[in-house]
Structures are given as structure tokens and as C-alpha cells.
Amino acid sequence: MKSRLLAASLAVVLPLPLLAQTQQIKPPVAVYWMSVETAGGMGMEMPPGMGSLMPPGMQGGKRMKLDLGSSLKAGGEAHAAHAIPPALAMGQNLPLLTPRVERAPMREHDDETGFERPKGRMLIYWGCGETVRPGQPMIMDFASLNPQDAARAFRGRGISRPRGPAPGRNRTYGAWPNQEDSRAVPPAGSLQGDHTIAGNYSPEIRFAVGARHDFMDAVAFDPVRKTPGGAFAVKWKTVPTATGYFATAMGQGDNQNDLVTWSSSEVQEMGQVLMDYIPPAEVERLIREKVVMPPQTTECTVPAGVFKSDASMFNFIAYGSELNLVHPPRPKDPKQVWEQEWAVKLRLKSTAMTMLAEREGGGRRASANAPRRGSEAAAQPSPQTDASPAQADKPQSPSPADAVQEGVKALRGILRF
């Protein structure tokens, strides 16, 4: 009788899946990632021929980064290719080359700090609105920088992101673009259609991409407007498939040694880690936490007094959805082992940047056909963050040392745009 009561109690308290037998899952032999970006480039007119001289992050165009990882060893020299649909207009396939690993030369003396302490201050602001909010800015004086202060200034939310294929992470690895093929994606290129990945170290991967997971629309800014109170009003057209938006801005302060950062978050957030691919579930969480702007948002005002010059750069990202596939499908019988052959992740984002300056005539805005400046588009994708459909890392709060490193990366990003 007691046993029956205990079983009944557990059935009420515990979810049914916990009472059922746990299904054994064998991870995929091969994992394939497609990181797909629409880069709006600078939201203003560029003189003829100047686009190709701009840093890659400022150029517009469609970009892809393809990564294939496998637990199998290649039979002979590793080779693989991605057979692409005709709509992409890049031929029949894209080669996935395995990079040659060259050992870096040994250094006699290793720099323990890894970076030279910068001079000056960093002023950190956040939030959309006409005026600066009470308690801002957070000021970091690099002359007296310590890990505890850095942790408070550069604190950010832990983001749960899976890790994708990478050299050293997988037994065999191939990627595009590479040293043999680094072509730019055509401005009118589309991912819609059938895709096949085949090689001598991976099972054949076949899947189709529909309109929902094609390249996102480019971000289209309206001309930046300076309000009577001195704030910068930034407006954009809705990106139809966006799941949320986030923006940061960087520039110079009162003197040349002052660096100023701002983010669109309603709560303190540096946001450097958020200017990349973020899983849709994490975007939803960040919207609830008032860090990311909801997808229906179409404007954000950078408060007056944050930036003292017209050389400040406004960086913007529209997060997209993901396509996640696993073959074969999960067996319905929990007693049957799920032996995964391959897994595919296609992730999307749309990015753009503009200057926080009011120009005569409003300047040119980045529009839905911005990538059609495509002959000047960069072939190399913007830096990607490793991310695996099968396994995700748990969110982790940054340590003081991590916070310092993030701050230094932010500084370097300012200098490089």
C-alpha cells in the first residue's frame, strides 16, 4: 500500500518524462553550420570606388561562413563540397577545404598580461531616450583599473550558445570561404532550394532551405536626425524576419583619450557579445530582460551629451531565426537508441552601421538593396562566434578577468571600427 502511495505521489510531483526511461542518444557523426549575414554597410553615400577601400565591417553585401565538422577520419586527403541551389548563382558547389595546421613559432618570453594598459578613460552609457539617465555614465579610469571595477563596468548577461565545428574540435574539419575560393556572394543570391554536402569524411547531408531561412533583408536607416535637445534620433524600417534588435555606439569623449560607449539596452549592458548570432530563445529572454529591443521597434534615440563629436559610429544588428535539422528523426520509442548521422544549423543576422551625424539632405540610407553595391562587397565574413546544434553551453557570468578582456576588446574594436 505504501509503495502505491509513493508511486502516485511521484507521478503528481515529477514530470512524466522523468519517470519514463531516458532515451539513449548518440551525437551526430557530422555537424554542418551555415552562418548567413546580410551586411547593410555604412548608411550613407560613398564616393565611387571608395567602398572597396573601407574595412570589411563597413562594406555592404551578403556573406556566408560554412563549417563542416566530423568525427570520422578522411579516407586519404580530406575533401568535401557543398552542392548549392541555382538561385545562389555561384556555380554548382562550394569547396570545403581543410586548413593546414602550422605550428606557431615559440617565443622566448611570453607577455603575461597579453595587452598594454591603455591611457585615458572609458565612459559607459545605456538606454534610448532624449536625456542621459541618473547614475550615468559609468566611468573607468584606465590608470587605476582593477578587476573588480572592470567587472562592474563590463558586466553582461550570460548567453547560452552552442559551439560549432572548428579546427581541433572535430576530428576532421572543412570550411568556406578559404584560400582557394573566397568569392563574394552575388547581391541577388538566394539560399532557397536543395543543398547537399558530401565528402570523404562525412555522411551525405541533404536538406532544403525555404524563404523563411533565406538571407534577411538589409537594415534600412532613415536619415539620422538631431533633435532640438541635441539627441540623435535613429529610425529604421522593420526587418520582416527579425526576432529582435540591438545597437551600440562608440566615439570620442571630451578629449582624445576619452572613449565613450553606449548601448540600446534599458539596463546596464556593454553589449559587445550581443553584436553576433544569438539563438532565438536567448533573444526572447533578452527582450524580457529589456536588453534587446522587440522586433516591432523602429526607432531609438541616443541621448544628448553622450557623444561630443560627429565621428561616433552607430552599430546595429537584427537577429534572425534558425533552421535546425537532425537526421534521422528522433525515434518515438524511448527504448530505441537515437543514432544521429548529421545535424545542420543555419543561423541568420542582418547588420548595418551609420554615423551619428546629421548631414545635409540626410545622406543616403542603407536600403533593402544595399548589398547591390555588391561588386565592392567583402568576400570574407565578419568574425563569427563558435556555436553545436547538439550541445549548448550553460550561461556563465563573466569573471573579473573576462570583464577586463571584454573591455580591451571593446577598445580595440573602437580603434578598428
- Domains of the chain: total: 1
Is there a domain that residue 32 lies in?
A: yes
Starting from the edge strand earliest in sequence, which strands make up the sheet with 80-83, in order?
93-96, 80-83, 193-199, 205-209
H or E element, residue 12 = helix 2-13
3-class DSSP string for 92-154:
CEEEEECCCCCCCCCCCCCCCCCCCCCCCEEEEEECCCCCCCCCCCEEEEHHHCCHHHHHHHC
Is there a domain that residue 310 lies in?
A: yes
Is there a domain that residue 379 lies in?
A: yes
Is there a domain that residue 363 lies in?
A: yes
Is there a domain that residue 307 lies in?
A: yes
Predicted confidence pLDDT, tens digits, the chain (417 residues): 444 444 444 444 445 444 345 899 999 999 999 999 999 876 444 444 444 444 454 668 999 999 999 999 998 999 999 999 999 999 999 999 999 865 555 555 545 455 566 678 889 999 999 999 999 998 888 777 677 666 666 666 788 888 999 999 999 999 999 999 999 999 999 999 999 999 999 999 999 999 999 999 999 999 999 999 999 999 999 999 999 999 999 998 777 788 899 999 999 988 888 999 999 999 999 999 999 999 999 999 999 999 987 779 999 999 999 999 999 999 999 999 999 999 999 999 999 999 998 765 444 444 434 443 333 333 334 433 333 344 444 444 444 344 434 444 544 443 333
Is there a domain that residue 38 lies in?
A: yes
- pTM beyond 0.75: the answer is yes
CA–CA dist 263, 272 (Å, integer): 9
- Smallest CA-to-CA distance from 156 within 272, 322, 37, 312 is with 272
Is there a domain that residue 7 lies in?
A: no
Per-residue DSSP letters for 27-75? PPSEEEEEEEEEEEEESS---TT-GGGS-GGGS-EEEEEEEEEESSPPS
Residue 182 sits in which domain range? Answer: 28-98+117-393+401-416
**Bond prior to 328 in cis (omega within 30° of 0):** yes
Is there a domain that residue 288 lies in?
A: yes
